[in-house]
Chains A and B, each alone.
Chain A
Amino acid sequence: MDFLRPETLAEALEIKAERPDAVPIAGGTDVMVELNYDHRRPAALLDLTRIPELQQWEDGLRVGAGVPYVRIIDELGAQLPGLAMASRTVGSPQIRNRGTVGGNLGAASPAGDTHPVLLASDAVIEVASVRGTRMIPAAEFYLGVKRNALEPDELIVAVHLTPAKGPQQFSKVGTRNAMVIAVCSFAISLFPQENRVGAAVGSAAPTPRRAPEAEEFLASALDFKNPKPLLDSVKREFGELVSRAASPIDDVRGSAAYRKHALAVMARRTLGWAWQELLAKKNGSEERPCA
């Protein structure tokens, strides 16, 4: 096996063009499990940990693919509350010190914790090759179980996200109170200025996916200009539509029926929290629901 250690992004892209079979590794928290148990033996590994461009975030926001979760939690919590909430549930503190959103995207596991947030917040994935740069909306990035829209010569460079203009929430079910893989997960983003809602499910279909009918329903049901307390019927209908957007399976972590049920509950609750936050803001209160 070859071990390739580029120092710059340009160098990395050249290597990837020459060696499309090289598996990129940053935090290693996904790839290493497969290597340790010999489930995968790539011909080459491409070490991305030495490339400064990948480890930075810039206002705007452009978050380098190699920024570890711990920095998203510590540095971007105010601008990207949804992503920070999801990051806080990834593995353990040790994993969050190394693991990256880029890695989550590269693995494209349906259970990856950040995917629903990226979908619900209209993230755009910046990928690059020697041929140039492509901007792929998150909704077009996930193609199948552990398959993404990356071409063999491309690398994930950054994730582009708009600083939250409204409340965001993330919720994930696991059967342990920490360090647990999602049985299913859900993210919601409110865009009050645009009268729009983003909603997406994780670990409940072959890929993470948006819940477009739920988004549309909510956008029409909510009055962002003059927010009033939510009707239970709106929450229920939203939950139903989110649940319907999923096509989960039975597996060792949970049943399909439970996943659909739990998604509806999480959708109702996170909508409630998000809306409460919006109301509180409108009323001039600084109170925020605990997170």
Chain B
Amino acid sequence: MTLTPAELTSAVSGGIGTSPQRPDGNLKVRGEFAYASDLWHEDMIWGATLRSPHPYARITSVDITEALKVPGVYAVLTADDVPGRNLYGLEHKDQPVLAVDVVRYQGEPIALVGADHPETALRAMKKIVVTYEVLEPVVDMETAVDDTPLHPGGNLVRHVPIRRGSQDVTAEVVVTGRYEVGMQDQAFLGPESGLAVPASDGSVDLYIATQWLHVDRDQIAAALGLPQEQVRLTLSGVGGAFGGREDLSMQVHACLLALHTGKPVKMVYNREESFYGHVHRHPAVLYYEHGADHTGKLVYVRTRMYLDGGAYASSTPAVVANAATLGVGPYEVDNVTVDAYGVYTNNPPCGAMRGFGAVQAGFAYESQMDKLAEALGMSPVDVRVRNAMTEGSVMPTGQVVDSAAPVAQLLKLVQDKPLPAGTSSDIRELPGGVSNTTHGEGVVRRVGYAVGIKNICFSEGYDDYSTARVRVSMVNGSLSAAVHTAACEVGQGLVTIMQQIVRTELGIERVTVLPMDTTIGNGGSTSASRQTYVTGGAVKAACALVRDKLAGRTDIGDEVIDETTEWRHRATEAIDPVTGQGNAHVQYGFAAHRAVVDVDVDLGLVRVVALDCAQDVGKALNPQAVVGQIQGGSAQGLGLAVMEEIQTSGGKVRNPSFTDYLIPTVLDMPPMSIDVLELADPHAPYGIRGVGEPPTISSTPAIVAAIRAATGLALTRVPVRPEHLTGT
């Protein structure tokens, strides 16, 4: 077993391992927490964005003359007004701030209007005349590479091959499948919003809901042609993120308008615009072949997968690498062949969403494991346990898993949980709910299992670090601490975790979390389940520096101890571009689900009756928040399983509203019994393991497995629709 760090007990209440009240809780329940959309500045004007109605078109002209004449309009800007580099992107700088000559997706920004009122901006926008030569969009991810090139380098964003072991081995039992994952939306409840305030020296302040202040800043500064220090960002309240705020939305736009007009500019997307304004989860097509011996031991896995990145790269390269390197799941397989392709199309751009490539692969490999179980006459749990990786297992990349990997244990935990009571007679507990579609007729209850694997933190050699500053001084006769980072709180509770760490490390109960901004160094992205690990690590390290200076004193008089430090997790490596070999990842997280599902097999309606989960979190710094993450991740996985999809047709979004993009309600979300394992990772601060993403991966395939069991159908696509279940 691995080294377990000593149990840390806190000298004061609210330290790690406890669940103190969130510092933002009081404000949030009073409606006083300042979300980006709540900001107001005297003399501010409103920004609006003119977007392309076409998925692919050449822009032949843009005429803003009439729009400029609308009273109350301060500015109408086009690509010509972008002073710096009119291209940005997380990994490839391929996305224009404002379109030049061509639009590559429906909703691509073409022009901006700044006006005294949102209504004025809207009126002016309608007077901008754009003429297009509409082009045939590229929409099929499987053939995109050979289709019309949408970018200078062609339509292949990244191909990740993995070759491990024998490439031509055969097996006694072989199952194959083709799987599809629809385009899921983060659908954070607080639409994109920000307020840009120009300064007299030509610099700008941006108050923004984002996931990564510094990379926003760097991209904004480049587009504005300003030095980085002249673009200052402060995090405002974030109404959920889930990956959808890792890319820029209106950040540059608001700053451009502010600098151009000399006025503070507020931009707020409405829900429809939000669907066009951020990247989504990559839809995917995945081909799999699993070979096993008669005992169920996997001999090989071969897969070819396509991930549709849409019009711009965003984080497609990293998503593809995740899908590839995690593509066989949490199983030991000696012989692996993976070819994962991320492509450009004229579909909506796709990038980060909770689970990040591991979700798509997870649905496919877990579906395959069930298929294998069936072919072998084994139980779904047995076939998984038979192949479950453990600490010391070797990944398809050749990386040795060097901390706990309790895959079999997680599966057994959920398997052993008591089953819910039998089918209810209350329609609220039946498929269809209050719509009164069944009183039990056609309802079949079955169980499904799944387990998933997710890399935690940034991978492939990325210099992933965070910066933390801890300041201690006397307030009212006792020590008081303040903690300052640029790591974004998006609802996950990082603000609580940071307080808890400071309390534990310094024994100081009163801890203030300062606003997150770019006056301090990079905090890294609030993604990849990494903030407790990396920013938590940085806060812990800063506390150690402060502790040295405190030297046990409880009264430091007028002295202020103020320490800032960077902290990075152990380095990772790039993977070999031909074989995919390399120590790509920092840490792996695992979760398993058992879904109990009632399916109305005649109407094709589903109610998830129970969704139990077991997850290893290394160390639960805040047990209540850990459970909250597991519930939330599972709910989003449930959404992908049975209802959530951005439907596109010819590159156009057909359902950009909450009327037709459905998110689980409280009646759709079943009770969850959750087991949290704490098997410390000796490489991580306090032994923690990232929590947020793993439950999103296994919840979807567990639910679909149960629906398959209830219907006997193959169900190779999520979300599962009534049409799939009824053959209509």
Q: Do A and B come from one complex?
A: yes
A residues at B contact (CB < 8 Å): 37-38, 85, 88-89, 169-183, 252-255, 257-258, 260-262, 265-266, 269, 272-273, 289-291
B670 to nearest A CB, angstroms?
Answer: 10
Q: Is B439's CB under 8 angstroms from A177's CB?
A: no
User: For A171, what are the chain B residues with a Cβ–Cβ distance below 8 Å?
Assistant: 432, 435-437
User: Cβ of B665 < 8 Å from any Cβ of A?
Assistant: yes
Additional A-B contacts beyond A176-B643, A258-B604 (20; CB < 8 A) = A89-B434, A171-B432, A174-B432, A175-B721, A176-B665, A177-B431, A178-B666, A180-B662, A181-B659, A181-B660, A182-B435, A253-B660, A254-B723, A258-B723, A258-B726, A262-B603, A262-B726, A269-B438, A269-B439, A290-B427
User: For B655, what are the chain A residues with a Cβ–Cβ distance below 8 Å?
Assistant: 252
CA distance A253 to B659 in the complex (A): 10
User: For A253, what are the chain B residues with a Cβ–Cβ distance below 8 Å?
Assistant: 660
With a 10 A CB-CB cut-off, give which of B426, B441, B603 has the most chain A CB atoms. Answer: B603
Top 3 A-B pairs, shortest CB-CB distance:
A177-B433, A258-B728, A257-B728
User: For A179, what are the chain B residues with a Cβ–Cβ distance below 8 Å?
Assistant: 665
User: Cβ of B177 < 8 Å from any Cβ of A?
Assistant: no
User: For B665, what are the chain A residues with a Cβ–Cβ distance below 8 Å?
Assistant: 176-179
User: For B427, what are the chain A residues with a Cβ–Cβ distance below 8 Å?
Assistant: 290-291
Q: Is A252's CB under 8 angstroms from B436's CB?
A: no
Q: Is A172's CB under 8 angstroms from B437's CB?
A: yes
User: For A183, what are the chain B residues with a Cβ–Cβ distance below 8 Å?
Assistant: 722
**Majority DSSP secondary structure for residues of B touching A:** loop
User: For B660, what are the chain A residues with a Cβ–Cβ distance below 8 Å?
Assistant: 181, 252-253
User: Cβ of B602 < 8 Å from any Cβ of A?
Assistant: yes
User: Cβ of B668 < 8 Å from any Cβ of A?
Assistant: yes
CA distance A290 to B726 in the complex (A): 26
Q: Total A-B residue pairs with C-beta atoms closer than 8 Å?
A: 102
* B410-440 vs A, Cβ < 8 Å mask (1 yes, 0 no): 0000000000000001111001111111110
A41 to nearest B CB, angstroms?
Answer: 11
Residue of B nearest to A36 (CB): B270
Residue of A nearest to B429 (CB): A177
User: For B605, what are the chain A residues with a Cβ–Cβ distance below 8 Å?
Assistant: 173, 175
User: For A290, what are the chain B residues with a Cβ–Cβ distance below 8 Å?
Assistant: 425-427, 439
Per a CB cutoff under 8 Å, which of A38, A85, A180, A261 touches B726?
A: A261
Q: Is A269's CB under 8 angstroms from B437's CB?
A: yes
Q: Is A176's CB under 8 angstroms from B662's CB?
A: yes
Q: Can you spell out 26 A-B residue pairs with CB atoms less than 8 angstroms apart?
A: A37-B270, A37-B272, A171-B432, A172-B435, A172-B436, A173-B435, A173-B437, A173-B603, A176-B662, A176-B664, A177-B428, A177-B433, A177-B607, A178-B667, A180-B435, A252-B660, A255-B723, A260-B728, A261-B726, A261-B728, A265-B442, A265-B603, A269-B438, A289-B439, A290-B439, A291-B436
CA distance A175 to B667 in the complex (A): 12
User: Cβ of B144 < 8 Å from any Cβ of A?
Assistant: no
* B642-671 vs A, Cβ < 8 Å mask (1 yes, 0 no): 110001000000110001101011111000
User: For A260, what are the chain B residues with a Cβ–Cβ distance below 8 Å?
Assistant: 728
A253-B660, A254-B723, A290-B425 known; A169+B436 contact, CB < 8 A: yes
Residue of B nearest to A255 (CB): B723
User: Would you list which residues of chain B between 432 and 472 have a CB under 8 Å from chain A?
Assistant: 432-439, 441-442
User: Cβ of B122 < 8 Å from any Cβ of A?
Assistant: yes
Residue of A nearest to B426 (CB): A290
B281 to nearest A CB, angstroms?
Answer: 18
